[in-house]
A and B are shown apart, each in its own frame.
Chain A
Amino acid sequence: MQRKLTLGLATGLVAALLTMTSSVSAQKSATDDIAKYREMIADGNPSELYEAAGEELWKKPAGPKNATLEQCNLGLGPGVVKGAAAQLPRYFKDTNKVQDLESRLMTCMQVLQGRDPQEMIDAPFQKGPKKDMEAIVAYVVTLSKGDKIKVSTAHPKEKEMYDLGKRAFFFQGGPMDFSCASCHAENGKRIRLQDLPNITEQKGAALGWGYWPAYRVSSGQFWTMQQRLNDCFRQQRFPFPIYSSDVTIALSMYMAKTANGGTVETPGLKR
């Protein structure tokens, strides 16, 4: 009787161990398979279609002033696009503000072309003037691909934005009492098959900041960083942030600074 029980227990234990091991290896191989899948679609990123459209828009006269964006200063001098996105967000003297790519493009559209930034802010993502913005963003970020992420907090306003972003990152709120940190402050976290990068560390921050903006396969759309942040707020059941508001720039500053030294892989290709 004693022997039968022990045997039963032993078999049960072995069975349990076997199931555990096979499910762990199943999980591991699923991650490898997903990696293979991502590799297979990496060539021929539909972002290129947006980039081509964006390059045309950069050079096309528009707005009440009928001017192009070719004199737009993204931080490296008027008209210098190559490498500019890798160093954003940054402080700009002419606006006396820290700006990310999209808010800076809005400034250029306003100053050079006479376009009203409020129209851009109010437009839904993927529609109207935001369609132009998405294409131009795709163009600008492509010209930083391969560069090192290099943002500075030397200017006091940059430091202020970074600190605000860090606070916002850990700020819990909304009906679920979520913060960005709920998903993005620990290693090894995952939602279904998506690995969640730990954005509080350089490596994880670079995986996040370095791969967006991206073409999102599940929606067949190109998403800018502002749209990605907007959706994060939605996923946390927070109210939507105002397009290009301080909190979105602050969070960008925090992520970019934490990611410093990583490689710009945009435009990305996401599920």
Chain B
Amino acid sequence: MADPMRVRAAENGGTVDVKILMKHDMESGQRKDAAGKTIPAWFISTINVKANGKDVFNGQFGPAVSKDPFLNFKYKGAKGDKIVVTWNDSKGDKRTDEATAS
């Protein structure tokens, strides 16, 4: 499995603020290596976030999202919510990490 993400979820007044940092090269497919060959695109393509088993966010990235992607969104939730983040990338690799809303 790929490198771990950093997931932070802070609840305030009934809204959980979720901040995610993913470790991924997000190769744009625009760069060339030293020999002049194009480095193929390789990037996180889908992100799914569930809170207590229910979808609270779905994202789709293209190669234009920055390296080591950052994502921030908010949903109506409570302290103690079990948050599960999964991403899939264009090579078929995936990663799942969890956090608890505090």
Contacts and interface: CB of A to CB of B under 8 A. Distances in A.
Interface in A38-58: 43-46, 48-49, 52-53
Interface of A: 43-46, 48-49, 52-53, 215, 217, 220
A53 B68 CA distance: 14
14 contacts: A44-B19, A44-B70, A44-B72, A45-B21, A46-B23, A46-B70, A48-B6, A49-B3, A49-B4, A49-B21, A49-B68, A53-B3, A53-B4, A215-B68
A52 B6 contact: yes
A53 B2 CA distance: 12
| Most-contacted residue by chain A among B4, B21, B23, B68 (CB, 10 A) | B68
Those 8 A-B pairs whose CB atoms lie nearest each other, nearest first: A220-B67, A46-B68, A44-B70, A49-B23, A48-B6, A44-B21, A48-B21, A44-B19
A49 to B, nearest CB: 5
Interface in B1-28: 3-6, 19, 21, 23, 25
Majority secondary structure, B binding face: loop
Contacts of B5: 49
B23 to A, nearest CB: 5
A215 B21 CA distance: 13
Interface of B: 3-6, 19, 21, 23, 25, 66-68, 70, 72
A220 B6 contact: no
A43 B6 contact: no
B68 A43 contact: no
Contacts of A44: 19, 21, 70, 72
Given A52-B4, A220-B67, A220-B68, A46 B21 contact: yes
Contacts of A46: 21, 23, 67-68, 70
